[in-house]
Amino acid sequence: MTNIVILVGNLGADPELRSTTGGTDVATLSLGTGRPKRDSEGKTYKDASGFTAKDTEWHRIICFNGLGRIIAQHAVKGMLVSVRGRLHYTRWTDRDGVERYGCEVIADDVQFLSRPRQDNGDGGSEPQPDFDEDVPY
């Protein structure tokens, strides 16, 4: 049996990097993927301008150690990336005693499909938008 996930989408925020008390670096990403929106009959839904409407799904991606440091250093909100990893389900009890469940992708590999951040001359950095957001499915 194999647990493999491959996702391609845009980062919804800049990665967050933290370190555990044991010294493991952990980067967390929010990845948005899209799929065509369907009407009640299962047909692709078109918006008022005739374009195919899309539903966005958000995925929590976890990157450890070297991969996490590279992602935190070079990735920015809006970048198009490909993630290969595995699904991991979690269960915990919140502060109110309610049992909660979650799902995340533990990344084995992340590929940048748009350019990583580059210095724009004023000390800040911007992603380089060289991809088409309306990728066909």
Q: Got the DSSP string for the chain?
A: ----EEEEEEESS--EEEE-TTS-EEEEEEEEEEEE-B-TTSPBPB-TTSPBPEEEEEEEEEEEHHHHHHHHHH--TT-EEEEEEEEEEEEEE-TTS-EEEEEEEEEEEEEESSEEEEE-SSS-EEEE--S-S----
In a domain, 13, yes or no: yes
Q: Render pLDDT for 28-54 as a digit per residue (tens, 0 to 9).
A: 999 999 988 888 888 888 888 888 888
In a domain, 110, yes or no: yes
CATH value at residue 12: 2.40.50.140
In a domain, 90, yes or no: yes
Predicted TM-score of the model (pTM):
0.76
Q: Provide the number of structural domains found in the chain.
A: 1
Q: Render pLDDT for 75-95 as a digit per residue (tens, 0 to 9).
A: 999 999 999 999 999 999 999
